[in-house]
Structure 1
Amino acid sequence: MKIRKKLIIPLLLLLTMLFVSACGKSTADNQQNSDKQQNSETYTLKVHMVINEQDPVYLGYTEFKKGVEARTNGKVKVELYPNGVLGNDEDLLQQAMLGGNVAVNSDAGRLGVWVPEIGILLAPYLTDSVEEMQKLVKSDLVKKWTDKLAQEKGLTVLSFNYYTGARHFITKKPISKPEDLNGLKIRTPGSPVWQETIKAIGASPVALPWTETYPALEQGVIDGAEAQDPATYGAKLYEVAKYITKTGHIQLWNCLVVGTKWFEQLPKEYQQILIEESVKAGDFTTNKLISNLEELEDQMTAAGAVINEVDIKPFKDKTETVYSKLNYQDLRQEVNKVLGK
């Protein structure tokens, strides 16, 4: 009897060890199989934009596409849809919020509707150079705002560093000072920071879709518009309003926005790749635009545009009221702290 007990106890211990080992191996195998299955899945991201194929931002997104597809071995496919063929920005952002596999080329004006702090990135004369703005849009301060957007509205900003240029006035009559804009109807986006900036300078803002700007100028519905050179060139606005006044009242930086639900279903490795490639593409866009600006202006001049350099101080002074109007004073101090001012 004692001999049997001596045999049974070790046998039970051996069976227990084998069982635990088998369970551990099974769990590890299941996790490994799950990881393999996840890495074998493919994903498609549709990038929506209203700009055309010649715009530097579009060229930046072609770099984003190449980088993402190469680094994920084709597991994340990026499809580019320029010229607004997928619809309007607001509808596409809603689709992204709901988990759709769409990304939107957006800006601080639209995102500022949901997170007001972001709107200051479009405030008039916020920074004094492209380098300052690059530092700001890549800062922890802006990341704090975009994190809030992801948490509260389900929109994840991959990067905010796609520079599209300084916005100038395009009008049917020459402009040399703010008073020349008094009473003119100027097309601008509908976000508060844009609207208040145009009002502060003295014009009457008219919110119209970008695609309707050319016919509205042609038909006299509006007296002018304000836009950055690549957009003005791409839409050929100089054909119907030949005076371009270089006020540079707003520095426009675009961002690439995806739905948080869609983004978080990706493997962590792929999430990081999308962020890194978006930053690279944004830097590519910025450098490309800056190097092409002089050529763009030469081409518009050759086509009949009259480009005016003006003293921006009177315009800058006029727009100071925008910061108090939109309660941006404290935010401006935070921005200046980031910039070391």
Structure 2
Amino acid sequence: MTVPRRAALGGLAALALAPCGAARAQAATRIVINNDTQATSLKGQTWELFKREIEAELGPRVQVQLHHSGTLYDQRGQVQALQLGAIQFIAPVAGIYAATAPKLAVLGLPYLLPTPRALQAVIEDEDLSRALFGELRAKAMEPVAFWLNGHRDVGRRGTPILRPADMRGVKIRVPAGANYVEAFRQLGANVVTIDWGEVPTALAQGVIDAVEPVANAWLASKLYEIANHITRIGYVLDFYVVCTNKAWWERLPAATREAVRRSLGKATEWNWANTERINEEAYQRIATLGATVHALTPEQRAEWREAMRPVWARLGNPLLGEEVMQRLARIGETHG
């Protein structure tokens, strides 16, 4: 898969520089990364690769602290922590930024941008990119890369969810983004937005009935052991927006910033090249461990798309306007 020209937008940011004086030039640049998923997830693996690359580039001149599973900050708290400069890297899904940058929720509207090619086309369109990501820069964050995660699929315990009508009354956990919430409210589900770290307990205790992560997250979290019927509805092509603190990024010495860019570019290239393989292998593994993975026919997938499509106008038009939404829809159809 070709990595988009702007998938790595120039780097990462927020590196804590050492104190003033002669010690500054010799002290290690400190990079603190908050990963809200497990180390074995696709994002966890991508962060680990970035860590290895930047340490190889800068050696003792850099000190990288990588925290997995939201042990430092949870999904919602990490955005504010980055804005305040408490950490240097985050990469939540676009919807997690929605409270700070509402327009980003549009990129995760159900079935709007169904393939990596469609996402790539949006990222590389300068006008669309400026309209969608300008809010982040205005809020002290610099988007520096885009990493794929995969298609989000729905699952629950006992009986499969095969048709949109099966969602009525189901208590489903989704990330705290308007695109995820409205997609399932449209189907009559009871939507819950608890933090990812709370999901296994909530599912085991019956607080929620269903979840909708991607294949690699199903495997890494072992949620398939509880929600043992997974249906590949693929309603969102999930991706991560890698961000850093804008002011800190701009203060980095040029040589350090270029080293970070190169390392981030290598991690991004690996992520785009391996996402599909990792997710397919995850589903194969899940099936061997006893869960049932249901595939949809083209007709069934079309039914899901039509059932969720009203969310495009209800959420997208007020945020971006009808003209921009039509442009995004054309991109999705062209590259679907």
Bucket of the pairwise TM-score, normalised by the shorter protein: 0.7 to 0.9
Q: What residue number does 1:229 align with? A: 215
SS in 2 for 1:299: helix
CA distance in 2, matches of 1:113, 1:276: 31
SS in 1 for 2:207: coil
Gaps of 5+ in 2: 1-19
Change in 2 beyond 3 A, CA 1:103/1:121: same
Letter in 2 for 1:321: P
Gaps of 5+ in 1: 1-33
> Whose strand fraction is larger, Structure 1's or Structure 2's?
1
- Determine if contact 2:143/2:242 at 8 Å carries over to the other structure: yes
- Determine if contact 1:122/1:252 at 8 Å carries over to the other structure: yes
Q: Which stretch shifts more, 79-88 or 327-336?
A: 327-336
TM-score between the two structures when normalised by the length of structure 1:
0.82
- Determine if contact 1:42/1:75 at 8 Å carries over to the other structure: yes
SS in 2 for 1:104: coil
Q: What residue number does 1:266 align with? A: 252
Paired residues, number: 307
- How far did residue 147 of structure 1 move? 5.3
CA distance in 2, matches of 1:269, 1:338: 37
> Whose helix fraction is larger, Structure 1's or Structure 2's?
1
Residue 320 of structure 1, aligned match among 300, 303, 309: 309
Q: Does 1:294 align with 2:283?
A: no
Letter in 1 for 2:267: A
Change in 2 beyond 3 A, CA 1:157/1:146: farther
CA distance in 1, matches of 2:260, 2:107: 23
Letter in 2 for 1:190: A
Q: What residue number does 1:166 align with? A: 151
Letter in 2 for 1:80: L
- How far did residue 307 of structure 1 move? 0.7
CA distance in 2, matches of 1:295, 1:77: 33
Change in 2 beyond 3 A, CA 1:324/1:204: same
CA distance in 1, matches of 2:188, 2:71: 35
1:36-88 CA-to-partner distances (Å, cap 9, x unmatched) read 98754531111111212211222211221222233334433322111111121
- Determine if contact 1:49/1:104 at 8 Å carries over to the other structure: yes
Q: What residue number does 2:229 align with? A: 243
Q: What residue number does 1:24 align with? A: none
Q: Using CA pairs under 8 Å that are at least 6 residues apart, name the structure with larger relative contact order, 1 or 2.
A: 2
Q: Does 1:253 align with 2:239?
A: yes
Residue 71 of structure 1, aligned match among 57, 76, 83: 57
- How far did residue 127 of structure 1 move? 2.1
CA distance in 2, matches of 1:273, 1:336: 37
Q: What residue number does 1:53 align with? A: 39
Residue 69 of structure 2, aligned match among 77, 83, 100: 83
Q: Which stretch shifts more, 122-131 or 176-185?
A: 122-131
Q: What residue number does 1:20 align with? A: none
SS in 2 for 1:196: helix
- Determine if contact 1:45/1:78 at 8 Å carries over to the other structure: yes
- Determine if contact 1:171/1:225 at 8 Å carries over to the other structure: yes
Counterpart mapping for 1:326-341 below 5 A? 326-328=315-317, 329-336=322-329, 341=334
- How far did residue 95 of structure 1 move? 2.2
Counterpart mapping for 1:1-341 below 5 A? 40-141=26-127, 143-145=129-131, 148-160=134-146, 162-172=147-157, 173-310=159-296, 311-328=300-317, 329-336=322-329, 341=334
CA distance in 1, matches of 2:176, 2:200: 17
Change in 2 beyond 3 A, CA 1:39/1:72: farther
Percent of aligned pairs sharing the same letter: 22
CA distance in 2, matches of 1:136, 1:39: 40
Q: Which stretch shifts more, 131-140 or 40-49?
A: 131-140
- How far did residue 174 of structure 1 move? 1.2
The RMSD of aligned alpha carbons is: 2.5
Larger Rg belongs to: 1
CA distance in 1, matches of 2:222, 2:286: 8
- How far did residue 216 of structure 1 move? 1.3
Change in 2 beyond 3 A, CA 1:246/1:181: same
1:172-206 CA-to-partner distances (Å, cap 9, x unmatched) read 22122111111111111121111001112332211
